[in-house]
Amino acid sequence: MRKKWFSYFIYISLLFLVITLIRKEYIVIPEEIDYKLLSLSFIILFLGFLIQGLSYKVILKEYGYMISSRDSLISFGLTVLSRYIPGKFWVHLGRAGYITDNYNYPFDKLTFISLNTQFIGIWIVILFCSVGFMFMDISFILKISLAGFWIILSIIIFTRYFHRITQWMILKTIGKQIILPVLSIKEVFKVLPVFILYWFLYALAFYYLAVSLGADITYISLIYFPISTVIGIVSLFAPGGMGTREASLIGFFSISGVGTILATTIAAFSRIWFLAGELFAFILGLSLNLNKKLKSAKD
């Protein structure tokens, strides 16, 4: 219960932060907002959360664990807010715990699968964003660095030898054993479509959000939100990637020639915008769970 209240506290603090920034004019609400595009961005965002919620069912099926679409959405929705709890692993533990309680599947195995899905998502985002960065007007060194990072990540998660070396180096560096998943190419390609679909929906939704607020950007900016989100995910010190995602977005928008104030405004509102999607997933999961309990009580 304390963990949930911690999530709520972070959301309330974020809301007051945005209000303070508006009052001090660090961010300015655009005078002209395209509400049609803004509404479209929310619709696509909610669809993205729906697909991500159902993706757990698709992924578990590939590992031989069958669950219903309803339980897939419930396990995702009820735990979506836990990503704001420091540590980054609560969402995986909560999701696996719900499925274990309802299907009696092994908790450790489900937790590991859930963690694997996050690495697959990161790997896919970096792959496509690396290609996108090649068409951007940024330094050649930065392009090569991102591509190189993707290659190194691929070697680590797809080859057992370098995987063991990396885990040993992490243990020696920070004194803690951190489990990194070992994936297979076949395993990744089986679930690739669902990952591409919901990441694309998130990217497209953010693009329309930015345009609705007045940003003059091209479709290459579709990569901004996914890569900024990944930067937030790998920032272990920031709950929910808070701060790091926004800073990354501002940097990418500045490359595109968007003014600092507008870039800051879009980045700040994107957090509230994405929060709306998370609340949609939470309310959906909560509603489905309550409906399930009511039906069970009648039976």
User: What local confidence, expressed as pLDDT, does residue 294 receive?
Assistant: 82
Alpha-carbon distances of 26 from 34, 50, 56, 66, rounded to whole Å: 22, 34, 39, 49
Burial class, 13, CB count within 10 angstroms (exposed 0-12 / middle 13-18 / buried 19+): exposed
- Number of helical (H) and strand (E) elements in the chain, helices listed first: 11, 0
User: What local confidence, expressed as pLDDT, does residue 5 receive?
Assistant: 45
Cα–Cα distance measured from residue 51 to residue 34, given in angstroms and rounded to the nearest whole number = 26
Q: Is residue 102 part of a domain?
A: yes
Q: Is residue 299 part of a domain?
A: no
Q: Is residue 17 part of a domain?
A: no
Burial class, 218, CB count within 10 angstroms (exposed 0-12 / middle 13-18 / buried 19+): exposed
Full-model pTM: 0.81
Q: Token pair for residue 7?
A: 């999530």
User: What local confidence, expressed as pLDDT, does residue 181 receive?
Assistant: 60
Q: How many CB atoms lie within 10 A of CB 60?
A: 23
pLDDT tens-digit map of 274-290: 988 988 998 999 899 88
Owning domain of residue 150 = 42-290
Q: Is residue 4 part of a domain?
A: no
User: What local confidence, expressed as pLDDT, does residue 6 receive?
Assistant: 42
User: Within a 13 Å sphere around the CA of 51, how many CA atoms are in the beta-carbon half?
Assistant: 17
Q: Is residue 158 part of a domain?
A: yes
pLDDT tens-digit map of 174-192: 565 555 666 677 777 778 8
Q: Concatenate the DSSP letters of all residues of 178-207 into one string.
A: -------HHHHHHHHHHHHHHHHHHHHHHH
Cα–Cα distance measured from residue 74 to residue 98, given in angstroms and rounded to the nearest whole number = 8
Q: Is residue 208 part of a domain?
A: yes
pLDDT tens digits in sequence order for the chain, 299 residues long = 444 444 454 455 555 555 655 565 555 667 788 999 999 999 999 999 999 999 989 888 888 889 999 999 999 988 887 766 655 566 777 788 888 888 888 988 888 888 778 878 888 888 888 888 777 777 778 778 778 878 887 787 777 766 677 666 666 665 655 556 666 777 777 788 888 999 999 999 999 999 999 888 888 888 999 988 888 777 654 444 557 788 889 888 888 888 888 888 898 888 889 988 988 998 999 899 888 888 777 76
Q: Token pair for residue 231?
A: 């930067």
Q: Is residue 256 part of a domain?
A: yes
DSSP assigned state of 151:
H
Cα–Cα distance measured from residue 196 to residue 201, given in angstroms and rounded to the nearest whole number = 9
Q: Token pair for residue 298?
A: 């009648």
Domain tally, the chain:
1
Q: Concatenate the DSSP letters of all residues of 156-171 into one string.
A: HHH-HHHHHHHHHHHH
Q: Is residue 170 part of a domain?
A: yes
